[in-house]
Structure 1
Amino acid sequence: MFSLSAHNTTVRQEIQGGFVTFITMAYILFVNPAILAQAGIPQEQAFFATVLATLVGTLLMGLYANLPIAVAPGMGLNAYFTYTLVIGEKISYASALSVVFVSGIIFLILSLTPLRTRLIEAIPNTLKLAITGGIGLFIASLGLKMSGILTSDEATLIKMGDLTSKEAAITLVGLLLAAALTVRKVKGAILYAILASGILAFITGELKFTGDVLSVPSIPEGLIVWNPLTAVGDVLQYGLFGGVLSFVLVTMFDTTGTMVAVGEQAGLIEKDGSLKNSGKALVSDSSAMVIGAMFGTSPTTAYIESASGVAAGGRTGLTSVTVGLLFAVAAFFGPFVGAISSVPAITAPALILVGAFMLQTLKQMDWDDFADAFTAFIVIAIMPLAGSIATGIAFGFIFYPILKAFQGKRVHGLIYFFGVLFFIQLFFFAH
C-alpha cells in the first residue's frame, strides 16, 4: 500500500520516523488550546479539535497522498485567529471559525484546480519570507508578554517586566533549556522544555492538578460551524474578507513551502521540481482545515517538524499514519494537557522559540534590494507593534508593487489585485 520497497524503507523505519515527528510537534497539543482559550473557546473543546484536525489531516496525508508529512493547527495562524480576528475585530469565536471554514473551502477548491500553482507562483518570495518572519516576531512577542518578561507601558508601549516573578523565571528556564537542546540538535527540544517547565511550575505551586490525568475525549460545544450559508453570512456581516484572504494565502504558501522542503529531504521531488502527489497533499491539508473549523480550531498547515521524522528514516505515508495514531492516543490525556496549557509560563517558551525558527527564513531575503528590504521591514515591524498579522500582510501587498513599479520592474497582476483588495480592506473596512 505504501510502496515501502520502492522508497527503500521498512516498516520499522517508518514507525520510528513517525514517532520522532510526533515528539517534535506534540507541543502543539499544549500551545494551541492555550492560545485558542484566550479567544473564548473552551479548552477541552480546543484540545479535542486540535487532535481531530491533526488526525484527519495527517491520516489523509499518509493514506491518500502517501507522504511522510504531518498536518496540525499552525503556529501564527492560531495567533492571528485569536488576537486579530476575535480580539482585534471584537467578534465571537464562532464567527472567527466561520472565517476559517470559508477559507478552508476556498483552499480545498483551489487545491483541486491548476489555480493553486498559479497563485503560489504569483506571490514573490519577498512577501512569503517577510510574512513568515513577521509572524515569527509576532508570536515571539506574545510569548514574552504572556510570561511577564515584557509588560505594557504608556510611554514606550512595552517595557521589561519583573524577571524575579515566578512566571518570568519559569519561562526563562524553559526557554534556555529549549534553546540549549535545539543547539545540541535534540529532537523534541520544545516538548522536553515544556515538560521541564511544567515540573518547575508544579514545584513552585503555579501548576496544580485537580482531577484525573486521563479521560475519554469529549466536545462540550459539539459542532460549532456546520452550515456553510451561516459561515458565509458571518464573513459578509462583519466584512471579514481580509481574514479569509489572509488565511488562504498564508496556508497556501506555508503548506507548499513546507511540503517542498520536506519532500526534497525525503527524495520525493519530481524532475520538474514539483512534489509527488502535491495536489493530494493540499487536499489533505485543506480538508483538515475545514474539519478543524467545524469543531473549534484555527487553520491547519503542514509541519516543518516532519523533517525530523524524515531524518529518522520516514519516507512514505506510513510515517504520517504513525503520527496520526499517536495523536489519537494523546486525545485521552486531555486533563493533563489542559492543566499544563492553563499556565502561560509553561507554553510561552514554545512560542518564543518557534518565532525564532520562523525568523531564520529571512536569511534568504535579498537585503541589497531596498524595495525588498523595505517591504520586509514594514511587514515585520507592523505585525507585532500593531498586534495584527493581517495588517502586516496588507501593508506588504500594498507597498511591494508600488516600490517595484518605481524600480521599473514588473510584478504579477495578481499582486496588484491583492494590493487593491487589502488597501480597500485596510482603509475602508477596518474597525
Structure 2
Amino acid sequence: MQSLFRFDARETSLRREVLGGVVTFLTMSYIVFVNPAILSSAGLPFDAVAVATALAAAGFTIIMGLATNLPFALASGLGINAVVAFDIILGRRVSPDVGMACIVLEGAVAVVLVLAGLREAVVRAVPSSLKLAIGVGIGLFITLVGLRDGGIVVNDAATGIALGDLTSGPALIALAGILVALGLSAAGVRGSILLGIGTSTVLGLIFGVLDGPSAVARWPTSDDFSTIGDGLSSSALGDALTWTLVPVIFSLFMTDFFDTVGTAYAVTSAGGLLDEEGEIPKVRNLLLVDSLAAAGGGAMGVSSVTTYVESGAGVAEGARTGFASVVTGLLFALTIFFVPLIAVVGQGVAVSKDTTIHPAIAPALVMVGYLMIQLVQGIDWEQPEDAVPAFLVIIGIPLTFSISAGIGLGVFGYVVVMIARRRASEIHWIMWGLVPLFAAFFASDWLGAHVF
C-alpha cells in the first residue's frame, strides 16, 4: 500500500483516504438515481442503465486511482446525459444506440488528441469566453430539464413553456427538495444535492406521489446488462457519422474535454497536489483515463463518464491519493444490488397522457445548474469579442434545447465580431474550420433533401 499509493509522501493515512473516498461517494452518488431517470426518458431501460451507471463509475474511478494516484472519481456526466437524451435521441429522433455511438466517437477523438499531444492546441484555439459560456449554457439547459421534470415548468401551446401547477403533488415535493438543497448548500453542508433528493423522495412516499420499493435489494439479472455494447455496433457508429451529428460529437467533446481540465486543476489545487511547475501530476494519464472513460460510457450505454468536481469533497476531508478513488469505486460497485431502491427515487410520475416527469431528481438537476451558472462571472462583458459569442451560446443552448446549436451560434458570433473589429488574423484556424462545419449542421435538413 505504501509503495503503490505513497501515503507518507502525501502526508496522509489509510483512515483519511477511506474517509475521503466515502465522502466523495456520498456527494456524487446522486448520479446513480439521476442518470437512469434521464436516459430512460429517451427509451433506455431504467434498471439496466442504473446497473451500468454504477459499474462504469466503479470501474473507471478505480482505474483513475491506480493510473494517477490522485483522488478523482468518475461517473456519467450530468449535462451530457441530458444532451444525449433530449437533444440527440429525442430531438433528432435517432435510436439510443446511435446516441451512445456519438459518445463513443467523442471519447475516441479525445483519446487520439491526448495520445498525439494536441490537447494544448485545442485548448488554445477556443476563446476562454466560449469555454465558460458553454458551461453556463449547459447549466441553464440542465436547470430547464430539472424544472420540467419537477412539474414546475410545463409545455404550453401558446408560449412554448409556462409555469406549472405548483399546488400539485409532484411540483410540491420537487420544490421542497430544491429549497432544502439550496439552503444546505448555502450553509456549507456537504452532500446537499443528495439530501435534497432524499427530501423529495421521502415526501413523495409520505404523500403518495411516489410508490414504495418492491424490495430493498436483489441480484442483477441478465437484462440489467442489456445496454452494454449497443453503442459499438457498426450500424450505430455509421449512423452517428452524419452531417447532423458530427457537430454534435464535436460539441460533446468540447464540453467533456474542458470540463475535465477545469475540474482537475480545481481539485488538485485545493488539495495542494500540483507539482513544482504548478501543473497536475501525471496529467497525461489523467486525461487519457478520462477520455477512455467517455468512450467507455458510450459503450456501456450510460452516456459519457467524466471526472467529477465532487471529488473535491473527498479532498477536503483529507484524501490525497488514488486509494480514496478505489474506495469510492468499490462503493459504487455495491450499488448494483440496490436497484429497487434506486428505482423509487428515479421513478416517473404520469401527469398527463403523454407526459411523465421525475420529481425526486429535480433538486439534483437544478442544483447542478446553479453551480454551473457561476462560471458567468469569468466572462469579460466589456469586450465585444468575449461578450457577443458568450451571449449567443448562453441563450442559444437552453432556448434551442440544443447544445450544438448554441455553440454554433457562438462560433458565428465570434468570427463576425473579430472581423468587425479588424482582428480576423487572430482567429485560430480551428475556429475557421468550425464555421463550415456548423453551417452544414444548421443546413442539415436542406442538405439531406437536396444533396444527400
Q: TM-score range by the shorter chain?
A: over 0.9
Q: Match of 1:365?
A: 379
- The letter for the 2-side match of 1:14 is E
Q: Match of 1:419?
A: 435
CA shift digits 1:111-143 (9 cap, x unpaired): 222112221222221011100000000110111
C-alpha distance in structure 2 between counterparts of 1:417 and 1:307, whole Å = 36
Q: 2:126 aligns with which of 123, 126, 130?
A: 123
Q: Give the superposition deviation at 1:411.
A: 2.8
Q: Match of 1:267?
A: 272
Alignment partner of 1:304: what SS?
coil
1:354 paired with 2:368, answer yes
Q: 1:162 aligns with which of 165, 172, 178?
A: 165
Q: Give the superposition deviation at 1:408.
A: 2.9
C-alpha distance in structure 2 between counterparts of 1:14 and 1:405, whole Å = 53
C-alpha distance in structure 1 between counterparts of 2:231 and 2:241, whole Å = 17
Q: 1:65 aligns with which of 59, 64, 68?
A: 68
Question: 1:368–1:122: structure 2 CA closer, same or farther, 3 Å change rule?
Answer: same
TM-score, normalising length: structure 1:
0.96
Alignment partner of 1:7: what SS?
coil
CA shift digits 1:361-394 (9 cap, x unpaired): 1111111112312212111111111111111111
Deviation >6 Å, runs of 4+ = none
CA RMSD of aligned residues (A): 1.7
Q: 2:44 aligns with which of 36, 41, 45?
A: 41
Q: Number of aligned residue pairs: give it.
A: 431
Q: Match of 1:281?
A: 286
Q: Give the superposition deviation at 1:239.
A: 4.2
Q: Give the superposition deviation at 1:359.
A: 0.1
CA shift digits 1:1-35 (9 cap, x unpaired): 01111111111111111111111111111111110
Q: Give the superposition deviation at 1:152.
A: 2.0
Query: Percent identity of the aligned residues?
Result: 38
Q: Match of 2:241?
A: 236
Comparing 367-376 with 161-170, greater Cα deviation is found at 367-376
Question: 1:230–1:363: structure 2 CA closer, same or farther, 3 Å change rule?
Answer: same
Q: Match of 2:401?
A: 387
Alignment of 1:196-207 (within 5 A): 196-207=199-210
C-alpha distance in structure 2 between counterparts of 1:239 and 1:160, whole Å = 32
Q: Match of 1:103?
A: 106
TM-score, normalising length: structure 2:
0.92
- The letter for the 2-side match of 1:317 is G
Is the CA contact (8 Å cut-off) linking 1:43 and 1:338 kept in structure 2?
yes
Is the CA contact (8 Å cut-off) linking 1:102 and 1:231 kept in structure 2?
no
Gap runs ≥5 in structure 1: none
Alignment of 1:128-167 (within 5 A): 128-167=131-170
Q: 2:418 aligns with which of 387, 401, 404?
A: 404
Gap runs ≥5 in structure 2: 349-357
Is the CA contact (8 Å cut-off) linking 1:101 and 1:225 kept in structure 2?
no
Is the CA contact (8 Å cut-off) linking 2:101 and 2:232 kept in structure 1?
no
C-alpha distance in structure 2 between counterparts of 1:116 and 1:217, whole Å = 39
Question: 1:227–1:163: structure 2 CA closer, same or farther, 3 Å change rule?
Answer: closer
Comparing 352-361 with 376-385, greater Cα deviation is found at 376-385
Alignment partner of 1:64: what SS?
helix
CA shift digits 1:36-93 (9 cap, x unpaired): 0011110011112211221122111101111111111111100110111001110000
Q: Match of 2:9?
A: 6
Q: Give the superposition deviation at 1:276.
A: 0.8
Q: Match of 1:377?
A: 391
